[in-house]
Structure 1
Amino acid sequence: MAVSVFAPASLANFSVGFDALGLAVQPVDGTLLGDLVKVEKSTGTDGNRLKVVGEFAHKLPSLPEDNIVWSCLHLFNEAMADAGFETQKVTITLEKKMPVGSGLGSSACSVVAALAGLNAFYQNCFDEKAMLKMMGQMEAKISGSLHYDNVAPCYLGGLQLMVPDGQIISRTLPDFKDCFYVMAYPGIEVSTKAAREVLPDNYSRKDLLAYGQNLAAFVDACHRQDKAQAFAVLQDVVAEPYRQSLLPGYEQARHYLLAQGSLAVGISGSGPTLFCVCDQQERAQELARWLQDNYLQTELGFVHICRVDDLGARTIED
């Protein structure tokens, strides 16, 4: 038996919701923007094995025990043992389609695809909540703090709001189905750890009020499907003012994209990927071409026009 699971890219924070909002995205041209994990029973005398392939495989540690997918296997097997389930020796193949340090939830893609793949291989021994908690635990190991704004949308799909309830974790918000999200990865890396270190330890009362009002207004607008209000308040007062210095060309691109009719522009996750929102595909295509010419910095960079990915992690037929 072999099972393959794809986990899509995600746009964490969504400007207005630092560590509280995440959006799963998929390119309109059908490109699989995310990671793919295949789990199959090891043959003969082989024990557990990990293979890493794909465009960005060279960016990952060479030793299996240093790879987050290997850690996922151990965590999952421990959970299986605690629940009284037997495990088999498996071979896991990670097809690393996502650039590391891109701000598109690269580590979350690997974690979600690996754990969801293992759960599917064992006929779904664990429910959605248990799986999400395991995914959050692995993400915390990577970034140093527990936050679900990448793993929740990557696993569940859609627009996810993190809630302060360990039993619920995340709520799905209504999103805007007619919107296009232009994602531009310039081809350089920004680590989540480094992006967090540039943030201040304390914020002013003015910033706290602005953050709370903007996030509340955005959630309200989502439920009322008020697109104008939703994107009018899509302002980042928590991270963007401090992180934009890590993103060459971001400030200039932001001014241009807004002047050309983007509904909103922001940093995806901790960067360096930039996103802009349009409600017309023709405009999205025009801005994608401009970003291709003016925001990318290396041959690894790319631009994708995306819609919301409502499916999240899912099995893929070989």
Structure 2
Amino acid sequence: MIKIYAPASIGNINVGFDLLGAAISPKNGKLLGDTVTIKSNNTFNLNNTGKFAFQLPKNIKKNIVWKCWNHFCKIIGKKILISITLEKNMPIGSGLGSSACSIVATLVAINKFCNKPLNSRQLLYLMGVIEGEISGDPHYDNVAPCYYGGLQLIINENNYISQSIPFFKDWIWIVAWPGIKISTSSARSILPLKYDKKICIEHSRLLAGFIHASYTQQSKLALKLMKDIIAEPYRMQLIPNYLKIKKQVLNLGAINFGISGSGPTIFVICNNEIIAKNISKWLSKNYLKNNQGFVHICELDTKGTRIIGE
């Protein structure tokens, strides 16, 4: 039996639309992600469990795990007879890399079961391709950090798909999912097809500066540059009272605030545990829409996808 866990992730991180992503873990030690278990079997079988299994499609061929299995079988040229159990603990359409969790955990588990016929780059490439079937375009800002852990810069140039970059260890990350869904494809379709040249230049300046600040460990500079001029101006209309919530959280002492991936999850950065707890309490009372929603105080997950239960 093989059991693989894949962590949640924050895509974009304001300044790096489709180019930056960070894996996260709650500071209290809880797992925030999906788990996939594989056993030998005489036929292919898929079981769905977990808190958010009810959100998965009834048609097995529309299940992302089946798609991963099917792609993998085609690549190696034979059908793999296994029983897969997906423990779906990440809400779909949350903006926390839910699809990435399932894709990465499944492909890593199948590859290990088959004695690793694919190397890490081949696996990551396939992860991006399958992710693209859901969102409309292959992208790696969730699958790369989910797979490798830490903060990842997406290169996507020949053999270089992503690279790990330094992060600030004193930053405390808060994620708040209100309990409602925004599909990635819908959140992408709301964006302009073309951007003004000034916006493109400004985005390049912000991202380049952030990467420089990360490598030189200039926290204050990095925070000043963490602005979303590509997605936030358009996606904030999908999140009720977004600007009011942002203003209040910053007033409570947050040092940065943004939309996680496509939303509706928001992320907050603090550098003080007391402030982080106060903001977490405020978000729990004022941002969650139902009892499925959650708020977690997190740190960056440096392990990425891993075997558990051994």
TM over 0.5: yes
What per-residue deviation string (whole Å, max 9, x for no partner) do you get for residues 60-114 of structure 1?
1012111010010011112222xxxx66410000000000000000000000000
1:259-302 CA-partner distances (Å, limit 9, x unpaired): 22211100000000000001111111110000000111111100
Alignment match, 2:216 = 224
**1:220-267 deviation per Cα after TM superposition (whole angstroms, max 9, x unaligned):** 000001100111110000000000000113211111111222111000
1:237 aligned counterpart, secondary structure: coil
- For residues 196 and 144 of structure 2, the distance between their equivalents in structure 1, rounded to whole angstroms, comes to 29
What SS does the aligned partner of 1:125 have? coil
The residue that corresponds to 1:22 in the other structure is 21
Provide the residue aligned with 1:141 in structure 2. 133
Gaps of at least 5 residues in structure 2 are none
Mapped to 1, the partners of 2:155 and 2:62 lie a distance apart of 31
Q: How does 1:7-46 map to 2 (within 5 A)?
A: 7-42=6-41, 46=42
Count residues with an aligned counterpart. Answer: 310
Q: Distance in 2 between matches of 1:249 and 1:95?
A: 33
C-alpha separation in 2, matches of 1:231 and 1:243: 21
Root mean square deviation of aligned Cα: 1.1
User: 1:62 and 2:58 equivalent?
Assistant: yes
Structure 2 residue corresponding to 1:271, chosen from 233, 245, 263: 263
Match of 1:288 in 2: 280
Write out per-residue CA displacement over residues 106-142 of structure 1, whole angstroms, 9 at most, x where no aligned residue: 0000000000111121222221101001101100111
Q: How does 1:1-318 map to 2 (within 5 A)?
A: 2-42=1-41, 46-81=42-77, 88-317=80-309
CA distance, structure 2, for counterparts of residue 164 and residue 29 of structure 1:
34
Query: Relative to structure 2, which stretch is displaced further, 92-101 or 254-263?
Result: 254-263
Q: SS in structure 2 opposite 1:221?
A: helix
Q: Given residue 153 of structure 1, which amino acid in structure 2 is its aligned partner?
A: P
State whether residues 232 and 263 of structure 1, in contact with CA within 8 Å, keep that contact through their aligned partners in structure 2. no
Distance (whole Å) between structure 2 residues aligned to residue 87 and residue 314 of structure 1: 24
Contact kept in structure 1, 2:73 and 2:80, CA below 8 Å: no
Kept in 2, the 8 Å contact 1:249–1:295? The answer is no
Tell me if the contact between 2:48 and 2:85 (Cα under 8 Å) persists in the aligned partners.
Answer: yes
Which range moved further: 60-69 or 286-295? 60-69
Q: Distance in 2 between matches of 1:302 and 1:217?
A: 33
Secondary structure of 1:206's counterpart equals: helix
Instruction: Detail structure 1 runs of 4+ shifted over 3 Å in the superposition.
Output: none
TM-score (norm. length: structure 2): 0.98
TM-score by length of 1: 0.95
- Which ranges in structure 1 are unaligned for 5 or more consecutive residues? none
- Does the CA contact (< 8 Å) of 1:155 and 1:313 recur in 2? yes
Alignment-mate amino acid for residue 41 of structure 1? S
Whole-angstrom CA distance in 2 between matches of 1:304 and 1:94: 23
CA apart distance, 1:179 = 1.0
Assess if the C-alpha contact under 8 Å between 2:7 and 2:31 holds in 1: yes
Greater mean alpha carbon deviation, residues 161-170 or residues 95-104: 161-170
Deviates more, 1:33-42 or 1:248-257: 248-257
Letter in 2 for 1:91: S
